[in-house]
Amino acid sequence: MKGKLILEDGTVFRGQIFGGSNQTATGEVVFNTGMTGYQEILTDPSYCRQIVTLTYPLIGNYGTSKIFNQSYKSFVSGLVIGELCDNGSSSSMEKSLIDYLSMERIPCLFDVDTRAVTRKIRSAGTMKGVIVSEYTSQATIDEMMKLPIKRDVVTEVTTSDAYTIGSDDKDAPFVVAVDFGVKLNILDSMQRLGCRLTVVPAYTPAEDILEMNPDGIFLSNGPGDPKDVPEVVEEIKKLIGKKPIFGICLGHQLIALALGADTYKLKFGHRGSNQPVKNLQTGRVYISSQNHGYAVDEKSLRKLPLEVTYVSVNDGTVEGLRHKKLPIFSVQYHPEASPGPDDNLYLFDEFLKMMGK
């Protein structure tokens, strides 16, 4: 069935809706430049309430497999791609991408000029959009456009109950991981280092976390604007100086807010597995995987006890922070996503050493 992506400024991109479905989608339209990793993107909770455009022209050629899932389900609102491969091939393949999209009920618009979509977003910035069939009435489209995109989406992706995973050794490093939409690869990375982890919901009070007496606290990635969760920021303030803290992505931004810095929305965000970041201490450039639409304002750090450790080579934005006195550090990118493939895993080793001290 013919379909279209309509942006809030009226721009229309036409294609085919997967399977002849009349499914519709509403969300913030973003793009990802990764050549692979479409299943990880679909299951990354940080994409909650977003319509994701993949810039690579052929999607689905290696199918899908449970081992690549980053969460128990997909949270994306919709998928926009160029060519949809209906006959994937891989030794690990369990389902085709078409079967996976059907199972997860993800509206997919294909045969789209994704280069044009990307250029539009890069020039005009991210904006709301809808995926509809060609025959959807204008009245219905207008109603969809009027509906605001939900702001605090952390509540949709965080765990409802605390759970413990990892080493059974009582002497193993014990980490409390606060789940704002954590990716499974992050938890796996810490488990591989021998850690015992208790994963807690996003709104867990600081008192409850400290009562567990962890060796370290991890603040995870997650979707949305960090300023949409002021209650979380207040709880993080109570954790400052009490235990070593490591944050990734949204966790990085929340640490900055808790310490008095500011954040702002990027024009079109950083989303892809080929984002270069520079270590300001060594001068070395790392290729990183990223997925974020907000960044820490470097100007707001001038009078704070924080130093910038990494910056984006592309636009100079802050990619890492470290407290000058306390055992607290964070990165904006995803060291667990293996774009290097293992270049950035040393950050988990640093967290382990920090807990040891």
Can you list the positions of beta strands (E) in the chain?
A: 2-7, 12-17, 25-32, 50-54, 58-59, 78-80, 83-84, 108-110, 127-133, 163-166, 174-179, 196-201, 216-219, 245-248, 263-279, 285-296, 306-312, 318-323, 328-331
Q: What is the pLDDT of residue 174?
A: 97
- Distance between CA atoms of 349 and 192, rounded to whole angstroms? 11
pTM beyond 0.85: the answer is yes
Positions annotated as catalytic residues are 249, 334, 336
CATH number, domain 2-146:
3.50.30.20
What are the domain boundaries of the chain?
A: 2-146, 154-356
pLDDT of residue 23: 79
Asked if residue 96 lies in contact with residue 64, where contact means CB atoms within 8 angstroms, the answer is: yes
The pLDDT value given to residue 151: 82
pLDDT tens track, the chain, 357 positions:
899 999 999 999 999 998 655 579 999 999 999 999 999 999 999 999 999 999 999 999 999 999 999 999 999 999 999 999 988 899 999 999 999 999 999 999 999 999 999 999 999 999 999 999 998 999 999 999 998 888 889 999 999 999 999 999 989 999 999 999 999 999 999 999 999 999 999 999 999 999 999 999 999 999 999 999 999 999 999 999 999 999 999 999 999 999 999 999 999 999 999 899 999 999 999 999 999 999 999 999 999 999 999 999 999 999 999 999 999 999 999 998 776 667 788 999 999 999 986
pLDDT of residue 275: 94
Domains 2-146 and 154-356 share a fold: no
Q: What single string gives the DSSP state of each residue in 278-337?
A: EETTT--EEEEEEEEEEEE-GGGGTTSSEEEEEEETTT--EEEEEESSSSEEEESSBGGG
Which CATH superfamily hosts domain 154-356?
Class I glutamine amidotransferase (GATase) domain (3.40.50.880)
Give me the sign of the Cα torsion angle 226, 229, 232, 236: positive
